[in-house]
Homo-oligomer: A and B are copies of this chain.
Protein backbone atom coordinates (compact mmCIF):
# COMPACT_ATOMS: atom_id res chain seq x y z
CA UNK A 1 0.00 0.00 0.00
CA UNK A 2 1.28 3.46 -0.85
CA UNK A 3 1.92 5.59 2.22
CA UNK A 4 -0.09 8.70 2.90
CA UNK A 5 3.05 10.77 3.12
CA UNK A 6 2.75 12.35 -0.38
CA UNK A 7 -0.59 13.85 0.73
CA UNK A 8 1.06 15.68 3.60
CA UNK A 9 4.59 16.27 2.39
CA UNK A 10 4.26 16.73 -1.35
CA UNK A 11 7.08 18.30 -3.32
CA UNK A 12 4.84 18.87 -6.33
CA UNK A 13 1.10 19.34 -6.79
CA UNK A 14 -1.07 19.25 -9.93
CA UNK A 15 -4.43 21.01 -9.83
CA UNK A 16 -6.79 19.46 -12.39
CA UNK A 17 -9.57 21.95 -12.97
CA UNK A 18 -7.61 25.06 -12.08
CA UNK A 19 -9.32 28.32 -13.05
CA UNK A 20 -8.10 31.82 -13.80
CA UNK A 21 -10.50 33.61 -11.46
CA UNK A 22 -11.49 33.34 -7.84
CA UNK A 23 -15.12 33.45 -8.89
CA UNK A 24 -14.59 29.78 -9.75
CA UNK A 25 -13.70 27.26 -7.07
CA UNK A 26 -10.79 26.05 -9.21
CA UNK A 27 -9.42 29.57 -8.96
CA UNK A 28 -9.85 29.76 -5.20
CA UNK A 29 -7.91 26.54 -4.70
CA UNK A 30 -5.20 27.65 -7.13
CA UNK A 31 -4.78 30.87 -5.19
CA UNK A 32 -4.56 28.96 -1.91
CA UNK A 33 -2.02 26.55 -3.43
CA UNK A 34 0.17 29.44 -4.56
CA UNK A 35 1.16 29.89 -0.90
CA UNK A 36 2.72 26.42 -1.01
CA UNK A 37 6.50 26.38 -1.28
CA UNK A 38 6.87 23.41 -3.68
CA UNK A 39 5.97 23.10 -7.36
CA UNK A 40 2.37 23.75 -8.42
CA UNK A 41 1.09 22.77 -11.87
CA UNK A 42 -2.35 24.06 -12.87
CA UNK A 43 -4.08 21.95 -15.52
CA UNK A 44 -6.52 23.76 -17.83
CA UNK A 45 -6.85 23.35 -21.60
CA UNK A 46 -7.88 26.95 -22.24
CA UNK A 47 -5.00 28.91 -20.73
CA UNK A 48 -1.24 28.98 -21.06
CA UNK A 49 -0.94 30.79 -17.78
CA UNK A 50 -3.15 31.04 -14.70
CA UNK A 51 -2.52 33.59 -11.96
CA UNK A 52 0.89 34.26 -13.46
CA UNK A 53 2.16 30.71 -13.43
CA UNK A 54 2.45 28.32 -16.36
CA UNK A 55 -0.59 26.13 -16.99
CA UNK A 56 -0.71 22.76 -18.72
CA UNK A 57 -3.47 21.82 -21.18
CA UNK A 58 -3.67 18.14 -20.15
CA UNK A 59 -2.24 15.90 -17.44
CA UNK A 60 0.15 14.14 -19.78
CA UNK A 61 1.76 17.48 -20.64
CA UNK A 62 3.04 17.88 -17.06
CA UNK A 63 6.85 18.13 -16.94
CA UNK A 64 7.14 15.21 -14.52
CA UNK A 65 5.04 13.07 -12.24
CA UNK A 66 3.70 14.72 -9.07
CA UNK A 67 3.25 13.63 -5.46
CA UNK A 68 -0.27 15.00 -5.19
CA UNK A 69 -3.04 15.73 -7.68
CA UNK A 70 -6.11 17.75 -6.66
CA UNK A 71 -9.14 17.10 -8.85
CA UNK A 72 -11.93 19.66 -9.19
CA UNK A 73 -13.67 18.64 -12.43
CA UNK A 74 -17.34 17.56 -12.57
CA UNK A 75 -18.04 14.08 -11.19
CA UNK A 76 -18.66 12.25 -14.50
CA UNK A 77 -15.18 13.21 -15.74
CA UNK A 78 -13.37 11.93 -12.65
CA UNK A 79 -12.84 8.25 -13.61
CA UNK A 80 -11.16 9.26 -16.88
CA UNK A 81 -9.01 11.82 -15.06
CA UNK A 82 -7.88 9.12 -12.65
CA UNK A 83 -6.80 6.90 -15.54
CA UNK A 84 -4.81 9.80 -16.98
CA UNK A 85 -3.13 10.23 -13.61
CA UNK A 86 -1.84 6.65 -13.68
CA UNK A 87 1.92 6.73 -13.11
CA UNK A 88 1.77 10.53 -12.92
CA UNK A 89 0.54 11.02 -9.33
CA UNK A 90 0.97 9.09 -6.07
CA UNK A 91 -1.96 10.58 -4.19
CA UNK A 92 -5.19 12.21 -5.33
CA UNK A 93 -7.64 14.48 -3.52
CA UNK A 94 -11.01 14.45 -5.28
CA UNK A 95 -12.77 17.62 -4.22
CA UNK A 96 -15.70 17.23 -6.68
CA UNK A 97 -19.13 16.23 -5.38
CA UNK A 98 -21.90 14.38 -7.19
CA UNK A 99 -21.15 10.83 -6.07
CA UNK A 100 -22.83 8.54 -3.49
CA UNK A 101 -24.09 11.57 -1.53
CA UNK A 102 -26.15 12.49 -4.62
CA UNK A 103 -27.29 8.96 -5.31
CA UNK A 104 -24.50 8.26 -7.84
CA UNK A 105 -23.23 5.12 -6.14
CA UNK A 106 -22.25 3.52 -9.46
CA UNK A 107 -19.97 6.41 -10.33
CA UNK A 108 -18.44 6.31 -6.86
CA UNK A 109 -17.78 2.57 -7.17
CA UNK A 110 -16.04 3.22 -10.48
CA UNK A 111 -13.79 5.83 -8.84
CA UNK A 112 -12.94 3.42 -6.06
CA UNK A 113 -12.14 0.57 -8.46
CA UNK A 114 -10.12 2.78 -10.77
CA UNK A 115 -8.09 4.17 -7.90
CA UNK A 116 -7.14 0.64 -6.84
CA UNK A 117 -6.32 -0.44 -10.39
CA UNK A 118 -3.95 2.39 -11.08
CA UNK A 119 -2.42 2.25 -7.61
CA UNK A 120 -3.07 5.71 -6.17
CA UNK A 121 -4.35 6.68 -2.76
CA UNK A 122 -7.48 8.83 -2.77
CA UNK A 123 -8.96 11.33 -0.29
CA UNK A 124 -12.60 12.13 -1.11
CA UNK A 125 -14.58 12.52 -3.27
CA UNK A 126 -16.93 15.24 -1.99
CA UNK A 127 -14.32 16.63 0.39
CA UNK A 128 -12.28 19.64 1.51
CA UNK A 129 -8.92 17.89 1.41
CA UNK A 130 -5.98 19.14 3.45
CA UNK A 131 -4.95 22.29 5.29
CA UNK A 132 -1.53 22.36 6.95
CA UNK A 133 -0.45 25.75 8.31
CA UNK A 134 3.18 24.62 8.79
CA UNK A 135 3.59 23.44 5.18
CA UNK A 136 1.35 26.23 3.86
CA UNK A 137 -0.57 23.48 2.09
CA UNK A 138 -4.22 24.33 1.49
CA UNK A 139 -6.62 22.55 -0.86
CA UNK A 140 -9.79 24.04 0.70
CA UNK A 141 -12.09 25.62 -1.88
CA UNK A 142 -12.77 28.58 0.42
CA UNK A 143 -10.84 31.82 0.31
CA UNK A 144 -9.22 33.16 3.48
CA UNK A 145 -11.81 35.90 3.41
CA UNK A 146 -14.63 33.38 3.50
CA UNK A 147 -13.00 31.02 5.96
CA UNK A 148 -10.44 32.21 8.46
CA UNK A 149 -7.89 29.52 9.23
CA UNK A 150 -6.77 28.73 12.79
CA UNK A 151 -3.18 29.49 13.80
CA UNK A 152 -0.39 26.90 14.00
CA UNK A 153 -0.62 24.51 16.91
CA UNK A 154 -0.70 20.88 17.95
CA UNK A 155 -4.30 19.78 17.26
CA UNK A 156 -5.13 17.71 14.16
CA UNK A 157 -8.70 17.98 12.91
CA UNK A 158 -10.18 15.09 10.96
CA UNK A 159 -13.70 15.69 9.65
CA UNK A 160 -15.93 13.70 7.39
CA UNK A 161 -17.92 16.86 6.70
CA UNK A 162 -16.64 20.05 5.14
CA UNK A 163 -19.38 22.15 6.72
CA UNK A 164 -18.54 20.88 10.18
CA UNK A 165 -14.89 21.58 9.40
CA UNK A 166 -15.74 25.24 8.84
CA UNK A 167 -17.73 25.30 12.08
CA UNK A 168 -14.81 23.63 13.89
CA UNK A 169 -12.38 26.22 12.49
CA UNK A 170 -14.61 28.98 13.77
CA UNK A 171 -14.86 27.43 17.26
CA UNK A 172 -11.17 26.54 17.38
CA UNK A 173 -10.22 30.11 16.57
CA UNK A 174 -12.61 31.44 19.21
CA UNK A 175 -11.03 29.08 21.78
CA UNK A 176 -7.56 30.28 20.76
CA UNK A 177 -6.42 26.76 19.84
CA UNK A 178 -3.79 26.12 17.16
CA UNK A 179 -3.84 23.27 14.67
CA UNK A 180 -1.21 21.04 13.08
CA UNK A 181 -3.30 19.70 10.19
CA UNK A 182 -6.91 19.55 9.07
CA UNK A 183 -8.27 16.85 6.79
CA UNK A 184 -11.78 16.75 5.31
CA UNK A 185 -12.18 13.26 3.84
CA UNK A 186 -15.80 13.25 2.62
CA UNK A 187 -17.09 10.05 1.06
CA UNK A 188 -13.92 8.11 1.90
CA UNK A 189 -13.66 5.68 -1.03
CA UNK A 190 -10.09 4.92 0.03
CA UNK A 191 -8.50 6.96 2.84
CA UNK A 192 -10.82 7.00 5.86
CA UNK A 193 -10.62 8.15 9.48
CA UNK A 194 -8.72 4.99 10.47
CA UNK A 195 -5.96 5.56 7.91
CA UNK A 196 -5.66 9.15 9.06
CA UNK A 197 -5.38 8.05 12.72
CA UNK A 198 -2.51 5.83 11.68
CA UNK A 199 -0.73 8.62 9.92
CA UNK A 200 -1.31 11.20 12.68
CA UNK A 201 -0.11 8.75 15.31
CA UNK A 202 3.39 9.24 13.90
CA UNK A 203 3.07 12.96 13.16
CA UNK A 204 5.41 14.84 15.48
CA UNK A 205 3.51 18.13 15.19
CA UNK A 206 0.25 16.56 16.35
CA UNK A 207 -0.40 16.10 20.08
CA UNK A 208 -4.21 15.78 20.01
CA UNK A 209 -6.57 14.43 17.33
CA UNK A 210 -10.16 15.61 16.96
CA UNK A 211 -12.37 13.45 14.77
CA UNK A 212 -15.85 14.30 13.53
CA UNK A 213 -17.55 11.13 12.28
CA UNK A 214 -20.91 10.54 10.69
CA UNK A 215 -20.44 6.91 9.74
CA UNK A 216 -17.78 4.23 9.91
CA UNK A 217 -17.48 1.72 7.06
CA UNK A 218 -15.26 -0.82 8.82
CA UNK A 219 -15.94 -0.99 12.57
CA UNK A 220 -13.14 -3.41 13.43
CA UNK A 221 -10.52 -1.37 11.61
CA UNK A 222 -11.82 1.81 13.23
CA UNK A 223 -11.54 0.38 16.76
CA UNK A 224 -8.07 -1.06 16.20
CA UNK A 225 -6.64 2.15 14.74
CA UNK A 226 -8.42 4.45 17.18
CA UNK A 227 -7.11 2.39 20.06
CA UNK A 228 -3.58 2.38 18.70
CA UNK A 229 -3.67 6.16 18.24
CA UNK A 230 -5.13 6.73 21.71
CA UNK A 231 -2.25 4.87 23.27
CA UNK A 232 0.11 7.47 21.84
CA UNK A 233 -1.93 10.69 22.03
CA UNK A 234 -5.46 11.77 22.94
CA UNK A 235 -8.14 11.17 20.30
CA UNK A 236 -11.57 12.77 20.82
CA UNK A 237 -14.46 11.56 18.70
CA UNK A 238 -17.62 13.52 17.99
CA UNK A 239 -20.18 11.20 16.43
CA UNK A 240 -23.11 12.71 14.61
CA UNK A 241 -26.23 10.88 13.55
CA UNK A 242 -27.12 9.80 17.07
CA UNK A 243 -30.59 8.59 16.19
CA UNK A 244 -33.78 9.08 14.19
CA UNK A 245 -33.59 12.01 11.84
CA UNK A 246 -29.93 12.62 12.60
CA UNK A 247 -29.04 9.17 11.30
CA UNK A 248 -31.05 9.60 8.13
CA UNK A 249 -29.44 12.96 7.51
CA UNK A 250 -26.00 11.45 8.00
CA UNK A 251 -26.82 8.89 5.33
CA UNK A 252 -27.91 11.38 2.73
CA UNK A 253 -24.90 13.55 3.53
CA UNK A 254 -22.12 11.11 2.75
CA UNK A 255 -23.97 8.05 1.50
CA UNK A 256 -22.63 5.83 4.30
CA UNK A 257 -24.86 4.23 6.92
CA UNK A 258 -24.52 5.85 10.33
CA UNK A 259 -25.20 2.61 12.19
CA UNK A 260 -26.82 2.31 15.57
CA UNK A 261 -25.38 5.00 17.76
CA UNK A 262 -25.90 3.10 20.99
CA UNK A 263 -23.71 0.29 19.68
CA UNK A 264 -21.05 2.72 18.54
CA UNK A 265 -21.09 4.48 21.87
CA UNK A 266 -20.82 1.34 23.96
CA UNK A 267 -17.91 0.16 21.82
CA UNK A 268 -16.07 3.45 22.33
CA UNK A 269 -16.59 3.09 26.06
CA UNK A 270 -15.49 -0.53 26.13
CA UNK A 271 -12.22 0.32 24.44
CA UNK A 272 -11.62 3.39 26.58
CA UNK A 273 -11.94 5.83 23.70
CA UNK A 274 -12.87 9.44 24.37
CA UNK A 275 -16.20 10.68 23.07
CA UNK A 276 -17.51 14.25 23.21
CA UNK A 277 -21.27 14.49 23.62
CA UNK A 278 -21.55 17.69 21.66
CA UNK A 279 -19.68 20.41 19.86
CA UNK A 280 -18.96 22.49 22.97
CA UNK A 281 -17.64 19.55 24.96
CA UNK A 282 -15.42 18.69 21.99
CA UNK A 283 -13.90 22.16 21.92
CA UNK A 284 -13.53 22.43 25.71
CA UNK A 285 -11.79 19.06 25.94
CA UNK A 286 -9.60 19.78 22.92
CA UNK A 287 -8.45 23.06 24.40
CA UNK A 288 -7.45 21.41 27.67
CA UNK A 289 -5.64 18.53 25.96
CA UNK A 290 -3.92 20.87 23.54
CA UNK A 291 -2.37 22.67 26.51
CA UNK A 292 -1.80 19.88 29.01
CA UNK A 293 -2.69 16.64 27.23
CA UNK A 294 0.78 15.54 26.35
CA UNK A 295 2.84 16.10 29.45
CA UNK A 296 6.01 18.11 28.85
CA UNK A 297 7.26 16.30 31.96
CA UNK A 298 6.51 12.86 33.49
CA UNK A 299 2.92 12.21 34.52
CA UNK A 300 1.97 12.69 38.15
CA UNK A 301 1.19 9.56 40.16
CA UNK A 302 -2.56 9.08 40.44
CA UNK A 303 -3.93 9.88 43.86
CA UNK A 304 -6.38 7.25 44.94
CA UNK A 305 -5.87 3.99 43.14
CA UNK A 306 -6.07 5.33 39.61
CA UNK A 307 -9.34 7.23 40.09
CA UNK A 308 -7.96 10.75 39.79
CA UNK A 309 -11.18 12.69 40.18
CA UNK A 310 -10.63 14.86 43.25
CA UNK A 311 -11.03 18.49 42.21
CA UNK A 312 -10.24 21.60 44.23
CA UNK A 313 -12.12 24.72 43.22
CA UNK A 314 -10.68 28.07 44.33
CA UNK A 315 -12.81 31.09 43.54
CA UNK A 316 -13.20 34.79 44.26
CA UNK A 317 -16.90 34.72 43.40
CA UNK A 318 -19.11 32.47 45.49
CA UNK A 319 -21.79 31.91 42.85
CA UNK A 320 -19.37 30.95 40.11
CA UNK A 321 -17.82 28.43 42.49
CA UNK A 322 -21.24 26.93 43.13
CA UNK A 323 -21.93 26.60 39.39
CA UNK A 324 -18.55 24.91 38.89
CA UNK A 325 -19.24 22.51 41.77
CA UNK A 326 -22.61 21.65 40.26
CA UNK A 327 -21.04 20.90 36.90
CA UNK A 328 -18.35 18.74 38.56
CA UNK A 329 -21.14 16.69 40.10
CA UNK A 330 -22.84 16.26 36.72
CA UNK A 331 -19.54 15.25 35.13
CA UNK A 332 -18.67 12.72 37.79
CA UNK A 333 -15.80 14.67 39.34
CA UNK A 334 -15.45 14.77 43.12
CA UNK A 335 -15.35 18.11 44.90
CA UNK A 336 -13.97 16.48 48.03
CA UNK A 337 -13.92 18.33 51.34
CA UNK A 338 -10.82 20.11 52.56
CA UNK A 339 -9.01 18.03 55.21
CA UNK A 340 -9.84 19.21 58.72
CA UNK A 341 -6.29 20.02 59.80
CA UNK A 342 -5.62 21.97 56.61
CA UNK A 343 -8.87 23.83 57.08
CA UNK A 344 -7.85 24.91 60.58
CA UNK A 345 -4.46 26.01 59.30
CA UNK A 346 -5.92 28.16 56.56
CA UNK A 347 -8.50 29.69 58.87
CA UNK A 348 -5.63 30.97 61.03
CA UNK A 349 -4.12 33.01 58.21
CA UNK A 350 -7.21 34.19 56.35
CA UNK A 351 -9.91 36.76 57.23
CA UNK A 352 -13.05 35.24 58.77
CA UNK A 353 -15.16 35.98 55.72
CA UNK A 354 -13.06 33.72 53.47
CA UNK A 355 -14.89 30.42 53.17
CA UNK A 356 -12.50 27.48 53.58
CA UNK A 357 -14.58 24.72 52.09
CA UNK A 358 -14.47 23.29 48.60
CA UNK A 359 -15.00 25.54 46.65
CA UNK A 360 -12.62 27.74 48.61
CA UNK A 361 -14.21 31.18 48.37
CA UNK A 362 -11.65 33.95 48.74
CA UNK A 363 -14.29 36.63 48.01
CA UNK A 364 -13.76 39.96 46.29
CA UNK A 365 -11.09 40.78 48.91
CA UNK A 366 -8.71 38.20 47.40
CA UNK A 367 -5.11 38.85 46.41
CA UNK A 368 -2.90 36.76 44.12
CA UNK A 369 -0.99 35.51 47.12
CA UNK A 370 -4.16 34.10 48.68
CA UNK A 371 -4.62 31.78 45.69
CA UNK A 372 -1.02 30.68 46.04
CA UNK A 373 -1.39 30.03 49.75
CA UNK A 374 -4.39 27.74 49.20
CA UNK A 375 -2.69 25.93 46.32
CA UNK A 376 0.49 25.34 48.28
CA UNK A 377 -1.40 24.06 51.29
CA UNK A 378 -3.67 21.67 49.40
CA UNK A 379 -1.46 20.61 46.47
CA UNK A 380 -1.12 17.00 47.59
CA UNK A 381 -4.78 16.45 48.43
CA UNK A 382 -6.26 16.92 44.95
CA UNK A 383 -5.80 15.56 41.44
CA UNK A 384 -6.89 18.65 39.54
CA UNK A 385 -7.33 22.37 40.19
CA UNK A 386 -10.00 24.72 38.90
CA UNK A 387 -9.22 28.36 39.54
CA UNK A 388 -11.91 30.97 39.12
CA UNK A 389 -10.60 34.51 38.79
CA UNK A 390 -13.25 37.16 38.25
CA UNK A 391 -10.77 39.85 37.29
CA UNK A 392 -12.96 42.83 38.09
CA UNK A 393 -11.33 43.52 41.44
CA UNK A 394 -8.06 45.20 42.35
CA UNK A 395 -6.53 42.22 44.21
CA UNK A 396 -6.04 40.15 41.06
CA UNK A 397 -3.04 41.09 38.95
CA UNK A 398 -1.02 39.59 36.13
CA UNK A 399 1.21 37.99 38.76
CA UNK A 400 -1.48 35.35 39.24
CA UNK A 401 -0.39 33.81 35.92
CA UNK A 402 3.18 33.48 37.17
CA UNK A 403 2.05 31.87 40.43
CA UNK A 404 -0.13 29.40 38.55
CA UNK A 405 2.71 28.59 36.17
CA UNK A 406 5.12 27.82 39.03
CA UNK A 407 2.52 25.64 40.71
CA UNK A 408 1.99 23.67 37.51
CA UNK A 409 5.69 23.25 36.95
CA UNK A 410 6.33 21.95 40.43
CA UNK A 411 3.26 19.73 40.84
CA UNK A 412 2.70 18.64 37.20
CA UNK A 413 -1.00 18.42 38.00
CA UNK A 414 -3.87 19.43 35.70
CA UNK A 415 -5.06 23.01 36.16
CA UNK A 416 -7.63 25.10 34.34
CA UNK A 417 -8.91 28.66 34.80
CA UNK A 418 -12.28 30.31 34.42
CA UNK A 419 -11.82 34.05 33.79
CA UNK A 420 -14.57 36.49 32.77
CA UNK A 421 -14.01 39.64 30.74
CA UNK A 422 -13.15 43.09 32.07
CA UNK A 423 -10.20 44.46 34.01
CA UNK A 424 -6.96 42.63 33.28
CA UNK A 425 -8.85 39.69 31.77
CA UNK A 426 -7.31 39.77 28.29
CA UNK A 427 -3.72 40.11 29.49
CA UNK A 428 -4.12 37.51 32.23
CA UNK A 429 -5.57 35.05 29.71
CA UNK A 430 -2.65 35.51 27.31
CA UNK A 431 -0.13 34.90 30.09
CA UNK A 432 -1.92 31.83 31.43
CA UNK A 433 -2.29 30.21 28.01
CA UNK A 434 1.34 30.95 27.24
CA UNK A 435 2.09 28.92 30.37
CA UNK A 436 -0.09 26.12 28.93
CA UNK A 437 -2.96 26.73 31.35
CA UNK A 438 -6.24 26.84 29.41
CA UNK A 439 -8.69 29.63 30.21
CA UNK A 440 -12.47 29.23 29.83
CA UNK A 441 -15.17 31.87 29.71
CA UNK A 442 -17.74 29.78 31.62
CA UNK A 443 -17.41 27.73 34.82
CA UNK A 444 -18.98 24.75 33.04
CA UNK A 445 -16.49 24.95 30.18
CA UNK A 446 -13.61 24.91 32.67
CA UNK A 447 -15.03 21.80 34.34
CA UNK A 448 -15.36 20.03 30.99
CA UNK A 449 -11.76 20.92 30.20
CA UNK A 450 -10.51 19.65 33.55
CA UNK A 451 -12.50 16.45 33.12
CA UNK A 452 -10.67 15.73 29.86
CA UNK A 453 -7.37 16.04 31.73
CA UNK A 454 -8.39 13.82 34.65
CA UNK A 455 -9.34 10.87 32.51
Contacts and interface: CB of A to CB of B under 8 A. Distances in A.
Contacts of A329: 242-246
A429 interface: no
Interface in A94-134: 97-98, 101-103
Interface stretch (A33-41, A221-229, A262-270, A357-365): A357-365
Given A249-B359, A318-B252, A441 B352 contact: no
Nearest to A317: B163
B163 A252 contact: no
Contacts of A102: 352-353
A133 to B, nearest CB: 16
A212 interface: yes
Interface string A174-188: 100000000000000
Contact of A280 (B162, B394, B444): B444
Interface string A24-47: 000000000000000000000000
Given A252-B357, A353-B102, A444-B279, A242 B326 contact: yes
Interface residues of A, number: 82
A286 interface: no
A350 to B, nearest CB: 11
Contact of A390 (B167, B315, B322, B390): B167
Contacts of A330: 242
A164 B319 contact: yes
Interface string A418-455: 00111100000000000000000111100000000000
Nearest to A442: B279
A146 interface: yes
B252 A422 contact: no
B240 A322 contact: yes
A159 interface: yes
A355 to B, nearest CB: 4
A353 B392 contact: no
Contacts of A159: 319
A290 interface: no
A249 B166 contact: no
A75 to B, nearest CB: 9
Given A326-B243, A329-B243, A353-B102, A318 B254 contact: yes
